[in-house]
């Protein structure tokens, strides 16, 4: 089984005020399908936890050619692309009912020990390479390591709550996306169309910890060539929204979105 596919309909609780598929909901579907596929290939949660290890999402990059709508039927496909010493690579593809690609994504995963929280070498835990890699790219380059801009502005102080936690007893990766979107000004959030998203998960956050959220909004001119990927012509303005969550001096997560 080189890939796994799931058909689903966008639910009302997965949609925003405009009836569009939330980024938070997309991340939930992606992590669930990734977990199911890994289990079928023999290196999922049930397999790793026997040796006291778990998969952790480290980096994620997605491109949105169109945001799906409430009640729309979608198909999500995922496959893994092999690994190096520390990262396992996995891609995602979302198509609409006509088979048209509307979302592509790539992700990088690490294995940590559930007790020590230390990163483990993948080939050591899995006794070699991950089974059945698929040599296909939804996005060719691995998700980037982000660099925060120097002029970040404090936004809110977030306390990790019970509803933020997952089975690994830390903040779930999709919740960071929700945190990031919650600090966008309503006048921007109500009218933006997301084109691309990156996120780095740098450190765990645990129940009761306080995470300072910083933001930076950048608007830049785009030439014809730069904007070609978005189907435009002429000179345009593209906005980027950068968010970082820090615990003291330690970066917990970084999020960047073009819209």
The Cα–Cα gap between 9 and 135 comes to 28
How much of the chain exceeds pLDDT 70, in percent?
92
Domain end residue (candidates: 144, 174, 191)? 144
Candidates 151, 139, 128; CA nearest to 215 is 151
Stretch 244-249: mean pLDDT: 97
Same domain, 125 and 70: yes
Domain-terminating residue out of 144, 161, 178: 144
Task: Out of 101, 118, 144, pick the residue that ends a domain.
Answer: 144
CA 177, 120, 49, 89 torsion-angle sign: positive
CATH code (residue 44): 3.10.129.10
Are 82 and 124 in a shared domain?
A: yes
34 and 49 share a domain? Answer: yes
For 114-158, write each residue's pLDDT tens digit.
899 999 999 899 887 677 789 899 999 999 999 998 889 999 999
Same-domain status, 152 and 48: no
Residues 185 and 103 in one domain: no
Rounded to whole angstroms, the Cα distance separating 83 from 177 reads: 25
168 with 255, same domain: the answer is yes
Report the pLDDT value the prediction gives residue 238, as an integer from 0 to 100. 65
Domains identified in the chain, total number = 2
Please answer whether residues 103 and 93 qualify as being in contact, where contact means their C-beta atoms are separated by less than 8 angstroms.
Answer: yes
Give me the residue label for tokens 């199911």: 36
**3-class DSSP assignment, residue 48:** helix
Q: How many CB atoms lie within 10 A of CB 105?
A: 23
pLDDT band at residue 226 under the 50/70/90 scheme: very low
Nearest residue to 142 via CA among 82, 76, 55, 231: 82
CA torsion angle for 159, 161, 163, 169 (degrees, to 10)?
110
What region does 231 belong to: left with phi over 0, alpha with psi -120 to 50, or beta? left
Other residues' Cβ atoms within 10 Å of the Cβ of residue 42: 12
Are 138 and 149 part of one and the same domain? no
Q: What is the span of the domain harbouring residue 180?
A: 145-259
Among the residue ranges 122-126, 199-203, 219-223, the one predicted with the least confidence is 219-223
How much is the average pLDDT of 55-83? 97
Residues contacting residue 48 through CB under 8 Å, at least 6 positions apart = 54, 55, 111, 125
Distance in angstroms (rounded) separating the CA atoms of residues 112 and 57: 10
Output the pLDDT for position 187. 81
Q: Judge if 182 and 240 occupy the same domain.
A: yes
Q: What is the pLDDT of residue 221?
A: 52
Sole residue written with tokens 């939930």: 28
Looking at the fold, whether 244 and 171 belong to one and the same domain comes out as yes
Report d(CA 251, CA 212) in Å as an integer.
10
Nearest to 57 by CA among 76, 26, 35, 39: 35
Least confident of 8-17, 19-28, 135-144, 213-222: 213-222
Q: How confident is the model at residue 219 (pLDDT cuts 50, 70, 90)?
A: low
The answer to whether residues 130 and 166 belong to one domain is no
116 and 20 co-located in one domain: yes
Q: 233 pLDDT exceeds 70?
A: no
Q: Is the pLDDT of residue 3 over 60?
A: yes
CA-closest candidate to residue 192, choices 239, 249, 128, 235: 239
Evaluate whether 53 touches 114 at the Cβ level (below 8 Å): yes
- Residue 245 near residue 175 (C-beta atoms within 8 A): no
Residues 177 and 108 in one domain: no
Question: Is the pLDDT higher at 233 or at 107?
Answer: 107
């Amino acid at each position: 089984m080189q890939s796994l596919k799931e058909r689903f309909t966008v639910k009302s609780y997965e949609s925003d005020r405009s009836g569009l598929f939330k980024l938070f909901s997309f991340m939930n579907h992606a992590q669930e399908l990734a977990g199911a596929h890994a289990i079928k290939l023999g290196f999922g949660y049930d397999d790793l936890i026997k040796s006291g290890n778990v998969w952790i999402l480290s980096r994620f990059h997605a491109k949105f050619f169109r945001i799906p709508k409430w009640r729309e039927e979608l198909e999500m496909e995922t496959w893994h692309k092999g690994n190096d010493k520390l990262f396992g690579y996995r891609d995602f593809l979302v198509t609409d009912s006509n088979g048209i690609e509307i979302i592509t994504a790539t992700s990088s995963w690490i294995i940590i020990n559930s007790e020590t929280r230390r990163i483990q070498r993948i080939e050591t835990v899995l006794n070699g390479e991950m089974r059945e890699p698929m040599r296909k790219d939804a996005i060719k380059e691995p998700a980037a390591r982000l660099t925060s801009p120097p002029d970040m502005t404090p936004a809110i102080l977030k306390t990790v709550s019970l509803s933020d936690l997952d089975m690994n007893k830390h903040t779930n990766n999709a919740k960071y996306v929700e945190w990031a979107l919650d600090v966008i000004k309503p006048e921007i959030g109500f009218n933006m169309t997301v084109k691309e998203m990156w996120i780095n998960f740098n450190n765990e956050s645990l129940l009761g910890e306080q995470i300072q959220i910083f933001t930076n909004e950048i608007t830049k001119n785009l030439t014809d060539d730069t904007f070609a990927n978005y189907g435009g012509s002429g000179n345009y303005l593209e906005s980027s929204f950068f968010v970082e969550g820090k615990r003291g001096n330690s970066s917990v997560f970084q999020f960047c979105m073009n819209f």
